[in-house]
Structure 1
Amino acid sequence: MNWTQLGFEQGTWLNPPERQETSPDRLAFDVTRGTDFWRQTHYGFTRASGHALLMDVPRLFAAEITFGGAFTGKYEQAGFLLWVDESQWIKFGIEFADGLPNLAAVVTRGASDWSMAPAPDVDRLRIRLTVTPTAAILHAKVAQGWQILRVADFTFDTARLGPMACAPETGGLSVVFEDFRIGPVPEEPLYING
């Protein structure tokens, strides 16, 4: 696949963190306590205070990023944010919930929903987001290969994408992102191990 490396210095912050280190191939920052992306469902509140370094993306694409952090506090999270506006977005990656790190995805179209699966025991995780004409497809790289996390009904005209992290209830999370790249939608966007 023809990938184009994206330099982190090209991004624009949605809610910048207090401390960050940005270079073309590496982004590190501390996550502020009380940050989150969520809209209505179950909890009743709306928050768009999480940190995200976003870049314009084409209408159809595949993108990957590698990231890591010591996730130990309730709802600490990091990964990708695909941002259309405050009422339409997707975030996914790692989220610490129920005492465990999880592969988690939140798809928001007016209101948020949330899904989780057990996370692999890794220090760093690679994830992929593929946007086709009719869906957003979320994958995580595990020991056996790429695992499908979600196929969501999600379309848009313009959007931005980038690394994000939140810490709704705790402080002290630091995250590192590397190898952010984008390319065309693969011929088979759902099963990408072969």
Structure 2
Amino acid sequence: MTDIKENRISWDRGTWRNPPVRVVSDGPHLQVTAAEESDAWRHTSYKFVHDSAHALLAPLGAEGAVEVSFLLDYAEQFDQAGIYLHVSESVWIKAGVEISDGTPQVGAVVTREVSDWSVAPVPEWKDREITVRLSRSGNAATIRARAGDEPFRLIRVAPLSETASVEAGPFCASPTRAGFTATFTRWVETDADVSLHPEQG
């Protein structure tokens, strides 16, 4: 995924889905304080519907990608930050790093009426800048993530209608406490991934 052109998205271009408690724009950074009990989930296992996560959204075309970077400087249970893709109240994706059982976990929740959740522990990512990339092409959304300048890891491939009207951008939530502030450092739009798998030399 080298040589992909990118255009920085201004923080004020987005529109909040569920405005947070506090937003501070500090030069290139955006500090977002989440409301207590903010979350995004539908039905599965927990048997509740939460639609209160804070997502700063801008349109995403049928062929394109967005990247969101943030600091993994948080450590409380279920605090989370990353990318949110919104189609409707019952069709959406969130992907990023969430603290679960004391460990940073990179993963995604893909929701089509009901939510599913996939995670993998990444304790070595603690206190680093994390980038989550969501690429939309054809009938799929491809999610990748990395710490610093490491190569992107493939996190998820999820179905997404080619004709869906989609918005995407940074998100954070704090299901169990007040006072969580996420620091976002970058939001860009780029070209869609050329292929699912990197070329082999």
Q: TM-score, normalised by structure 1?
A: 0.92
Kindly indicate whether the alpha-carbon contact (under 8 Å) linking 2:71 and 2:185 is maintained by their aligned counterparts in 1.
no
Whole-angstrom CA distance in 1 between matches of 2:188 and 2:40: 23
**Structure 1 residue aligned with 2:139, among 109, 134, 139?**
134
Deviation of 1:189 after TM superposition, in Å, equals 4.2
Counterpart selection for 1:184 from 177, 191, 194: 191
* TM-score, normalised by the number of residues in structure 2: 0.89
Q: What is the match of residue 66 of structure 2?
A: 63
Deviation at 1:23, TM superposition (A): 6.1
Matching residue's letter, 1:160:
E
1:121 maps to 2:101: no
- Give the 5 Å matches for 1:1-194: 1-22=4-25, 25-119=28-122, 120-123=124-127, 124-142=129-147, 144-155=150-161, 156-191=163-198
CA–CA separation in structure 2 for the residues paired with 1:147 and 1:69: 17
| In structure 1, C-alpha distance between the alignment counterparts of 2:125 and 2:9, rounded to whole Å | 27
What is the RMSD of the two structures over their aligned residues, measured on CA atoms?
2.0
**In the aligned structure 2, how far is the partner of 1:51 from the partner of 1:87?**
16
The offset of 1:61, in angstroms, is 0.9
Separation in 1, partners of 2:15, 2:22: 15
- The amino acid of 1:151's aligned partner reads V
Contact 2:137 2:193 in 1 (8 A): no
What amino acid is aligned across from residue 140 of structure 1 in structure 2? Answer: A
Q: Against the structure 1 CA distance between its residues 192 and 19, is the aligned structure 2 distance closer, same or farther, given a 3 Å change threshold?
A: farther
Corresponding residue SS for 1:145: coil
Which has the higher mean CA deviation after the structures are superposed, 101-110 or 62-71? 62-71
**Pairwise CA distance, 1:5:** 1.1
Structure 1 residue matching 2:12: 3-state secondary structure: helix
Contact 2:104 2:126 in 1 (8 A): no
Query: Which amino acid in structure 2 is aligned with residue 93 of structure 1?
Result: G
**Change beyond 3 A, Cα 1:23–1:84:** farther
**Identical columns (%):** 32
For the residues of structure 2 that align with 1:117 and 1:169, how far apart are their CA atoms?
Answer: 21
4+ residue runs of structure 1 moved beyond 4 angstroms?
none
Contact 1:38 1:46 in 2 (8 A): yes
Unaligned runs of 5+ residues in structure 1 are none
Segment drifting more, 175-184 vs 43-52: 175-184
Return the alpha-carbon distance in structure 2 between the equivalents of residues 121 and 183 of structure 1. Answer: 24
